[in-house]
Amino acid sequence: MVKKRGKRKRENFLKEQYSKSWNYIKLSREFIYSAILIFAIFVVLGFFFPVPELLEKEILKMIQDILAKTKGLSGLEMTNFIFWNNLQSSFFGMIFGVLLGIFSAAVALVNGYVLGFVSKIVVIEAGFSSLWTLFPHGIFELPAIFISVGLGLKLGSFPFQKKRGDAFKNYFVNSLRVFVFIVIPLLIIAAIIEGSLIALLGG
């Protein structure tokens, strides 16, 4: 009987947290849409417009560094690497949004631009049809990033609210709740899918 009560309490707690998380996401949708828009604009810029030589070298160096770090990793190790990499990016994109949302916007900008640049390289080498191979990699990862960045942008808006202290506390607590109960599960699923695909395709 005690075990059943304990289990019911845990279930009710989880339901309540998920409900509060989704409600906060709905209340923050304008900021999340802004994150998506920034990301989309820079995907287009990275794909269709020439990349400055210096910037191209930096992006290629970053990609090479990632490839070097992941070379020879097993499927499980790759999944772990992807998860922690995405977790840090999403968390910092949200938390450092407190700086007027500037860092959050930068995360969306950089991720969008790099995706556009990489997509262009893939198309040049293998044609437009090859872009479909990128889809499974982002189906869970991108929503997690958009939510994190959107909440970071909202967090950065607290100085413009009438009651700044209350606004900050509200935004911060709710953002952490969403990160734990929505973003992290999405990133776990994304890492498993991406790690498995990379292992299956032999990198």
Q: Copy the structure tokens of residue 178.
A: 């969403």
The amino acid at 164: R
Rounded average pLDDT over 116-129: 78
Q: What is the pLDDT of residues 42-63, one digit of tens each?
A: 999 998 888 788 888 888 888 8
Q: Which tokens is 22 given?
A: 């989704």
DSSP code of residue 52: P
Residue with structure tokens 């969403």? 178
Tokens for 193, please give them.
């899918």
Residue of 1 and 105 predicted with greater confidence: 105
Spans of all domains in the chain: 34-200
Calculate mean pLDDT across residues 142-164: 94
| H-type alpha helices, 96-163 | 102-126, 135-138, 141-155
